[in-house]
Amino acid sequence: MAVRPRLTTAKVVDAALELVDEQGVEGLTLAAVAARTGVATPSLYKHVASLAELRGHVGVRVLEEMTARFTEKVLGRAGDEAVAALMHAYREYVKEHPKRYAAMPMDPLHDELQQAAGMKLVEVMLATLRQYGLEGSAAIHATRRLRVIVHGFASIEAGGGFGLPEGLDDTYDQLVRMYLTDLRGQ
């Protein structure tokens, strides 16, 4: 509280996200963040413990953004409509920020900070499925199936893994329909 800080951890993470969006994970380097924030590289250590920790912060941000957006989209909807809205919102987010999504580590569980953020995202999914009255472990399996579909498609699309982008909307619609049918019949 002694000095009015030019830089804050939040601003460092902002710059990191910009870099990731522009150049992908490999472009996220302390030197680049320093250049962008107009500071010498070692100065960043006053706000962030290491490059690894900065990556963690980036992951948390992304998770929080996703959770916020999905929550908004799902509120006020119910049943199939809510599930479809969630799935489409997921894809939209990843299409908007493909590199950002790819930068997110798949295991938020090994990181203290990310664990909480990751759990909230999963809880939004669980809540969306709650109306289907699934019993205990059935709800967990249903949530996992949802994650698999939504993340599988998003990561392939974001990584340019589909040959031609042709008809991708159709493919996704089919996946949504497949999941909804499955929810009903399981």
Contact positions vs its own copies (CB under 8 A): 102, 105-110, 122, 137, 140-141, 144-145, 147-153, 155-156, 158-163, 167, 170-171, 174-175, 178-179, 181-182, 185-186
Smaller CB separation from its own copies, 34 or 121 = 121
- Does the footprint of DNA cover residue 94 (CB under 7 A)? no
Secondary structure (DSSP) of 77-120: --HHHHHHHHHHHHHHHHHHSHHHHHHS-S-TTSSHHHHHHHHH
Residue with tokens 């804050």: 8
Span of 33-41, 75-83, 145-153, 168-176 interacting with DNA by CB under 7 A? 33-41
Contact yes or no for 106/23 (Cβ under 8 A): no
Q: How far is the CB of 1 from DNA (least distance, A)?
A: 6
Q: How far is the CB of 55 from DNA (least distance, A)?
A: 10
Binding pattern for the stretch 5-24 against DNA, x by CB under 7 A and - elsewhere: xxx-----------------
Neighbours of 107 (CB within 10 A): 11
Smaller CB separation from DNA, 112 or 170 = 112
Residue with tokens 């982008």: 165
Smaller CB separation from its own copies, 3 or 170 = 170
According to DSSP H, which parts of the chain are helical? 9-23, 30-37, 51-74, 79-96, 98-103, 112-129, 136-158, 168-185
Task: Give me the sign of the Cα torsion angle 159, 67, 44, 5.
Answer: positive
100: amino acid identity, one letter:
R
Chosen residue from 10, 22, 23, 31 binding DNA by CB under 7 A:
31
Binding pattern for the stretch 42-81 against DNA, x by CB under 7 A and - elsewhere: xx-xxx--xxx-----------------------------
178, two tokens: 């497949």
Smaller CB separation from its own copies, 39 or 143 = 143
Partner interacting with residue 174 (select from DNA, its own copies, none; CB below 5-8 Å by kind): its own copies
